[in-house]
Amino acid sequence: MKLIHKFKSLNYDKRNNKRISFLILHYTALPSVEDSIKYLCDKKNKVSCHYIISQNGKIYNLVSEKKRAWHAGQSNWLLEKDLNSVSIGIELDFSTNNNNNKFSTLLIKSLICLLKYLKKKYKIDKKNILGHSDIAPYRKIDPGETFPWKKLCNLELSYNPKKVSLMESKKIRMWFKKNKIYSNKNKILIMLNFIGYDISKSINNKHSYQSLINNYKSHYLQKSNTKCSNAKLYNSIEKHFFSLLLTKT
């Protein structure tokens, strides 16, 4: 895997001795990799990433992995509120409104090589390879509903919830009933919070709740993202929740 070190961003600071535990995927939303590198290296923009991958598969290293790049912004996952300090940010040369509006074969091939390398180097759990939309669901939608998460899952580079037995499912459903949690929305929020999502803005805000649901679907229900029934959505989140819960117990 060849890395290009020609361009360097000054937008970084110290990690505060925190362990690298996450890989966060973004897209640039700019017309070209040249535009993106220029933007990410401009000090006045106060944004950066560790790596950016072009449409033709070139991997540019803009910030040292030892440093805290500024790619995640205000974000949360589980108990972590400073994702920048514990993650490596990877930008993809992609924009929905320009010629780079597809994830090219070369781009994805290079991404897979980079993810394998970083996952092994830092012993990162595949559950912690996430999109910007996962850690900031009220602000971001990248890498988006066309990003090939399934391909990454097949390579153990992303988490794919496993089916659980009917008996185990029944036990957990009984727990909701015992605690008088009957609303599907409340159950969904509890389960998404356990998975890792920040639900704080979704509890009393319909627009924020829909943003949260849309971003979950764009990662885990891509093929049925636009026509996903409420039952299918609930079943998917329930399976995800059960799978994680039974892994931790």
Q: With respect to residue 160, please indicate whether it lies within any of the assigned structural domains.
A: no
What is the pLDDT at residue 17? 85
d(CA 221, CA 92): 21
| Residues 126, 32 within the same domain | yes
Quick one: CA dihedral 201, 181, 196, 215, positive or negative?
A: negative
Closest CA to 40 of 102, 106, 92: 92
Phi and psi at 37, nearest 5°, equal -60, -45
| Residues 36, 143 within the same domain | yes
pLDDT in tens, 209-219: 999 999 999 99
| Residue from 65, 91, 145, 168 carrying the catalytic annotation | 91
pLDDT in tens, 89-99: 999 999 999 99
What global pTM score does this model have? 0.95
Domain range for 176: 166-248
Q: Is 91 part of the annotated catalytic residue set? A: yes
Number of domains in the chain: 2
pLDDT in tens, 121-134: 999 999 999 999 99
User: Considering the chain, what percentage of its residues have pLDDT values greater than 90?
Assistant: 80
User: Which of 131, 154, 177 corresponds to the end of one domain?
Assistant: 154
